[in-house]
Amino acid sequence: MLRGTKLYVLFGLGTILWPLFSSARGESRIAFVHLFEWSWNDIGKECERQLGPKGFTAVQVSPPQQSVDRSEWWSRYQPISYAIEGRGGSRSEFRAMVRRCASAGVDVYVDAVINHMAALNRDFPLVPYTSNDFHTCRSTINYSNRFEVQNCDLVGLNDLKTESEYVRRKIADYMNDLIDLGVKGFRLDAAKHMASGDIRAIVSKLKRRVFIFQEVIGAGGEAVQPSEYVSNGAVTEFKFERTVGHFFKGRAKLKDIRHVINSRGWMRSDDAVVFVSNHDDQRQNTQATLTYKDIGNLYYIGEIFSLAYPYGYPKVMSSYFFEDHDQGPPRHGVHSGGACGREWVCEHRWRGISNMVEFRGKTSGKFFVSHWWDNGNHQIGFGRGGLGYVMINREDFATIDKVVDTGMRQGTYCDIVNGEVKDGLCDGATISVGADGKAHFKVGAIGAAAIHVGSLVRGGGGGNGGGDGSQSDDVEVSFECRNGQTVTGQGVYVVGSSVEVGVWEVGRAVQLSAAAYPTWRGTISMTRGQRVEWKCIKRSEAKADNEQMEQWQGGANNVLVASDDGQLAVASF
């Protein structure tokens, strides 16, 4: 489905060998994930255990080239050479990762830092680059001035002369080295700060066709715009991130989101890479961007919408927990001593998100919206041409309890947001579609439900109507709040995003026992696989709305994915 404009590489007497790039929706591209700051060894394991089985097309990895030796995450974006070594692992580990991912059916995309080198002096002997290979403009960039955007140092980073044939060849050699290692695509970091023609010249030197997508942040009135770059490859459509953030943060009625996405001024869907959050904006643009830190399940249902809505090539962000903008990754990786839900967020593993990748794949043959429904406010539902249907509830308190026309064939379907299909059966909620294509959805506040042709089952555990998260497989989770010193009349409670822990209502929080004071403990029954955000709070035992007696645990929400009886969830004041 390569419908976008393409540039072709010619060799010899005008023989066309291959397009320089392929469109965002070409070659069965479904969805990919950014495993931000994961090590090569951990990514290889994740491809085998999660990404391949769940149908992810590719994984974006952090910049692999040698960079300044610092702990902050942004140090990876300050290269000192093009050698494959650094925090992610060695060259041999990188090669092994690519092979393992390829065996699992997952492509590897590299975040390529080619606009600049580190903010050091202008001598990089390991490349080598000298001062002659850099622009000389070091002034603060005025974004209405094209020359400054593309020739001045970006926040002090040494800006390469990408118009130089020598520099272009060095960059292309680096990318070709990665292609030889099996890399199938590149994110071009800070592409806006390179002339489109310079990028075209570099990419034309690549030895094989790969997927190219360019980071170009569009803003009205600026000299450089994303549309200039589509002849080189796909482009990041930041309007999507901002739009999803705007609507899901409740600043406009969710029912109107369909009139904004892909409207005038947006990138064509085939040219767009879209995301709900990225590694930059989850730190520096949180007012406009949904992140895992948003209260309740807002980020969760925003990602579900992103994977259901037929626009662009979606990228899922997978983060680590952080309190400081500059904070680097945890010392131990997910598969090497760390854990999802503790040091690492692992949004891509949340059931509703990971299962929606298959939804997008199963509905790709009908890449349009059908059977739209809304309540005139923040509840919406839409189909995908009879291949799938999703219902999303952005209301803070109201439940969706509605029969809608899905356009799907008759049968019982597993609600993949709240259940898994195993051996033809659903271990969670099911939704029955009648002979007339209609189905009854019941979806709780800040929740979602989804069905698709691949989730047709023989029966299920959640009954007709599903979507409210009810399942049959419960586990007992032990909660522990430490350092909970209290005053007379005050107790320690757990409150969080699910019904079991009060849906963030202080008056419905679950009280813990003070038998091990100042550690407070309690056991709460939850559903296996259920994802819950939660916090410890101190409040009045007699009057829940006594704000003078109320104290919340600091920092970001704790995240729990219920797995087994006796699972321990720990936090501290």
Catalytic positions: 189, 215
Distance CA 281, CA 293 (A): 12
Q: Report the 10 Å Cβ neighbour count for 12.
A: 6
Distance CA 346, CA 388 (A): 26
Distance CA 423, CA 540 (A): 49
Report CA-CA distances (Å) from 93 to 16, 108, 298, 331, 449.
36, 14, 36, 18, 39
CB 394 within 8 A of CB 248: yes
- Quote helix, strand, coil % in the chain, to nearest 5: 25, 30, 45
Report CA-CA distances (Å) from 110 to 173, 187, 212, 323, 462.
14, 6, 10, 26, 42
Distance CA 573, CA 14 (A): 69
Beta pairing class for 456-457 and 411-414:
antiparallel
Scanning the structure block, which residue is given the tokens 């979806």?
443
Between the two ends of the chain, the Cα-to-Cα distance in Å is 53
Q: Report the 10 Å Cβ neighbour count for 302.
A: 26
CB 39 within 8 A of CB 90: no
Q: Is the dihedral of CA 285, 369, 420, 99 positive or negative?
A: negative
CB 340 within 8 A of CB 561: yes
In 262-282, which positions are buried (b, 16+ CB within 10 angstroms) versus exposed (e)? beeebbbbbbbbbbbbbbebb
Burial of 566 (0-12, 13-18, 19+ CB in 10 A): exposed
CB 224 within 8 A of CB 146: yes
Scanning the structure block, which residue is given the tokens 């603060």?
140
Plot region of 352 (φ>0 → left; ψ -120 to 50 → alpha; else → beta): alpha
C-alpha dihedral, 191 to 194 to 199 to 200, nearest 10°: 120
Q: For residue 475, give the nearest of 544, 529, 537 by alpha carbon.
A: 529
As given in the structure block, the two tokens for residue 363 are 């509905």
